[in-house]
Chain A
Amino acid sequence: MTEHMLTIDGQRIPFTEGQTIIEAATAAGVYIPHLCHNPEFKPHGSCKLCTVKVNGRNCSACTFPAADGQEVLNNTQELNETRRTITQMLFIEGNHFCPSCEKSGNCQLQAVGYYLNMLDAHFPFFYPSREVDASHHEVMLDRDRCILCELCVRASRDVDGKNVFALSGRGINSHLIVNSTTGKLKDTDISVDDKAVHVCPVGAILIKRKGFEVPIGERIYDGQDIGQVSLEHEMPIVEEAEHGR
């Protein structure tokens, strides 16, 4: 059997049939920035942070299938600038006030900003009015921080089998909704142990009474950048999936 091979920034990367570019990269220890992607779930492709150039054309690494001979550009100045701009877009469309956010230090949006040396959000802020749902006794939903990645939607549907969340609206008015008559979390069967409660990359879905438990300096991204953290966490998941293929 000949080994399948592509290159990322000139480095030869093996892959197995059916893998996406990001899976091949992760397995090989190459970090491609991403937010809506999580190897435990079906690829989504909405945040566009994982945009790479495949044979000269922009593709989302998280959804695009790996193929023999692909020449992929990833860690280039141009792509990282694009990713930084996309990250800035995510910051200005929501209400991201890191100093008062319980997720600060453990937030992937923030960590990606750090990784890409984003010093400001560049664009005028939209400051949208978004609803906060504190109705549930254990789980908090702060839509101000939601980046519409649909990880909670996927987790609730595919893992918890509950369909608690969905995206609604259109365009810049897109927003996360809760599947109950009142639209409130308290009227769903969500439980604090659900996968959906634990996959939010930002501080939109939080477990109550847990905020600021970890002191500054010991939080996830205080010591390590998101590239390191991400590979450490995701390599085993991709490898396991590979064995199951």
Chain B
Amino acid sequence: MAGKIKVATTSLAGCFGCHMSFLDIDERILALAEIAEFDRSPLTDIKHCSDQVDIGLVEGGLCNAENVHTLREFRESCKILVAVGACAINGGLPAMRNHIPLQECLEESYLDAVGVENPQIPNDVELPLLLNKVHPIHEVVKVDYFLPGCPPSADVFWKFLTDLASGAEPSLPYELVHYD
């Protein structure tokens, strides 16, 4: 065949649960490997996308500056960008901090909480700065497809990728649509 579909994945402000669920496609991963190869991904430990990736799967929302850079690199490199899971789609559980001002979050975590020793706000330049609010990825880049669920089931990944590979417009039947 002319070449396999290149798939990249990443996790931003997420829990890797979506990646775990993806791996739940179990032995179907062999069939997938026939048509797809993995580019940048925690699964391959490749750190940056190669030039033209066909499909980029993004787990997690945006909670800090590094998430934004990673997401933008993904958008740049991937022909099709997919928001995977509740966090990428609506901020998910990390976004539950959104009704608490960031200042209060940081003070509570690093200055005022019981048991904090040597209270100080971390300021190493290696540490990404937190955004005021956690955002879903569609608020910062254009997103082509959404796979809801916390996590989306393995069947969702399978249905979506096989639809795309076969040239069909991906769609999820009623049973596969879940927000939890």
Contact = CB atoms under 8 A, between A and B. Distances in A.
Please say whether the chains A and B touch (CB closer than 8 A).
yes
Interface of A: 91, 95-101, 104-105, 110, 113-115, 117-122, 124-125, 127-130, 144, 216, 225
Contact of A98 (B99, B146, B171, B180): B180
Contact of B136 (A98, A100, A113, A125): A125
B174 A98 contact: no
8 contacts: A97-B93, A105-B180, A119-B146, A120-B90, A122-B138, A125-B135, A125-B136, A127-B91
Nearest to B96: A97
B174 A114 contact: yes
Contact of B179 (A95, A110, A115, A125): A110
B56 interface: no
A132 to B, nearest CB: 10
Contacts of B98: 95, 127
A114 B178 CA distance: 7
B58 to A, nearest CB: 13
B99 A95 contact: yes
Interface string B132-172: 01011011000101111010000000000000000000011
Contacts of B95: 97, 125, 127
Given A104-B179, A121-B89, A98 B150 contact: yes
B99 A117 contact: no
Interface residues of B, number: 29
B179 A99 contact: yes
Given A104-B179, A130-B99, A99 B148 contact: no
A115 B173 CA distance: 10
B57 interface: no
Contacts of A124: 139
A168 B166 CA distance: 52
Interface string B28-61: 0000000000000000000000000000000000
B86 A127 contact: no
In the complex, the 6 A-B pairs of residues with the closest C-beta atoms, listed nearest first:
A120-B146, A99-B150, A98-B179, A127-B98, A119-B146, A104-B180
Contacts of B180: 98-99, 101, 104-105, 110, 216
B177 interface: yes
Interface in B95-141: 95-96, 98-99, 133, 135-136, 138-139
A104 B178 CA distance: 10
A113 B178 CA distance: 9
A163 to B, nearest CB: 28
B54 to A, nearest CB: 20
A225 B86 CA distance: 21
A129 B174 contact: no
Given A99-B93, A120-B89, A225-B174, A125 B99 contact: no
Interface in B58-100: 83, 86, 89-93, 95-96, 98-99
B109 to A, nearest CB: 19
B179 A127 contact: no
Nearest to A115: B174
Contacts of B136: 121, 125
B177 A114 contact: yes
Given A99-B179, A104-B179, A120 B93 contact: no
A200 to B, nearest CB: 18
A128 B86 CA distance: 18
B60 to A, nearest CB: 13
B92 A117 contact: no
B12 to A, nearest CB: 16
A83 B179 CA distance: 18
Nearest to B89: A120
A229 to B, nearest CB: 13
A118 B146 CA distance: 10
A230 B58 CA distance: 35
A116 to B, nearest CB: 10
Residue of A117, A118, A119, A225 with most partner-chain B CB within 10 A: A119
